[in-house]
Chain A
């Protein structure tokens, strides 16, 4: 995968060509804000064109059959429309925010009769305070940094990180795909997370996450 793409920051950048989303974090933020502020249907159509096919691909990759994967992509995009006011570009990039909605859709789908206990109640989805204007494009910078941080991982670390987003059930899947023991998977993931956190979080906050 291409994780070294440059991310545009200018909110007035020209409409992106169809196809790759990579590099258009600022444009995605603008589209989400247009939906939040003005119920902008054209902005929704543009965002749908860029994300729905990738959402379907991700749901399929996690083991969801194609028809249900497309339904979940539709539901995710409708949730994006409904919840756009909750999007806070000072806290999360557009793709990150859409990912968290898709993740919660998948969790809900996996829970028959699910009460929506985690969705919305999740502190990462609900801004605790208004974002200062200066922070408005912090998330775009964060997107650029996560891509740089991913390239700094060893290929083995990058692979376990990637596979952990493709699992169709907790545990076991990575072991099966890579043929390595669970203990090795866990230690690789821990090292990878520490490196990502060291690059993405302020130094005094990172590297405090070990429990034992």
Chain B
């Protein structure tokens, strides 16, 4: 299949969303924040674009095999009557160009970033993608070189995609385009790489479980 070439000068990502996340992305059933993380990763990753397309092809086969439902009388006539007045396709918001990659329009805050202090060496921009659940948080996070986030666990899933720089935690080392997915049980303390600030898109569900007084204060100050 034809896919855009990976961005010049960068190898394809080494850490991908799990296969079930690619399938749910194709089916349209991932939570909004998780879907945005996967959509962002797809801009870096030809292999996962193929995986999502496989999921979509599966969706096409399932649609074809649905037993037809009865339409109300005159359904076709009503559709035909609207063809001439059907508005021209709504113009999709243009992608956001960031360091040579076209990212989803929902990351528009990257074009004029207004970072808010979040903790020592850590700043954030809160995003509100449409459809996000009340307990879902979606942030752009900027961590200065060598700085760590407070050690924390999760009461729900977390998914992150690195946009610039890199970080390391006990599950591995993540660079530009890489995705890190974490489930409820995991506890981790991500540390930004030393060479440049780490900018990530990060989405999670449910409150975090910080360990220690400072991390708890950090959480209370920031509504995490």
**A interface residue numbers (CB < 8 A to B):** 1-3, 19, 21-22, 41, 44-45, 48-49, 51-58, 60-61, 66, 69-70, 73-74, 77-79, 81-83, 90-100, 102-104, 106-107, 110-124, 127-129, 131, 135, 138, 142-143, 146-147, 150, 161-162, 164-165, 167, 169-170, 185-186, 189-190, 192-194, 196-197, 200-201, 205-206, 208-212
Contact = CB atoms under 8 A, between A and B. Distances in A.
A195 B27 CA distance: 17
Given A2-B65, A69-B69, A193-B19, A165 B58 contact: yes
A208 B16 contact: yes
A143 B61 contact: yes
Interface of B: 1-4, 15-20, 22-24, 26-32, 34-35, 39, 42-43, 46-72, 75-76, 78-80, 82-83, 86-93, 95, 104-106, 129-131, 171-172, 179-181
A58 B63 contact: yes
B19 to A, nearest CB: 4
A156 B59 CA distance: 17
Contacts of B35: 118
A200 to B, nearest CB: 5
A146 B68 CA distance: 21
A100 to B, nearest CB: 5
Contact of B28 (A3, A107, A113, A135): A107
Contacts of A135: 2
Contacts of A111: 32, 130-131
B75 A70 contact: yes
Given A209-B47, A211-B179, A54 B64 contact: yes
A185 B3 CA distance: 30
B1 A91 contact: yes
A96 B35 CA distance: 19
| Closest 9 pairs (CB-CB, A-B) | A120-B92, A96-B60, A53-B68, A111-B131, A95-B60, A189-B20, A193-B19, A103-B28, A111-B130
A43 B89 CA distance: 19
A59 B58 CA distance: 16
A55 B49 contact: no
A131 B66 CA distance: 30
B47 to A, nearest CB: 5
Nearest to A109: B131
B79 A52 contact: yes
B25 to A, nearest CB: 10
B4 A123 contact: yes
Contact of B80 (A44, A70, A119, A161): A44
Given A98-B60, A116-B93, A61 B19 contact: no
Contacts of A208: 16, 47
Given A113-B130, A170-B24, A45 B63 contact: no
B89 A82 contact: yes
Given A96-B57, A96-B59, A200-B54, A164 B79 contact: no
Contacts of A98: 60, 63
Contacts of A142: 1, 57
Nearest to A105: B28
A209 B48 contact: yes
Residue among A120, A138, A194 having the largest count of chain B Cβ atoms under 10 Å: A120
A99 B83 CA distance: 20
Given A116-B93, A150-B58, A200-B57, A55 B79 contact: no
B76 A201 contact: no
Contact of B20 (A73, A74, A82, A190): A190
B57 A146 contact: yes
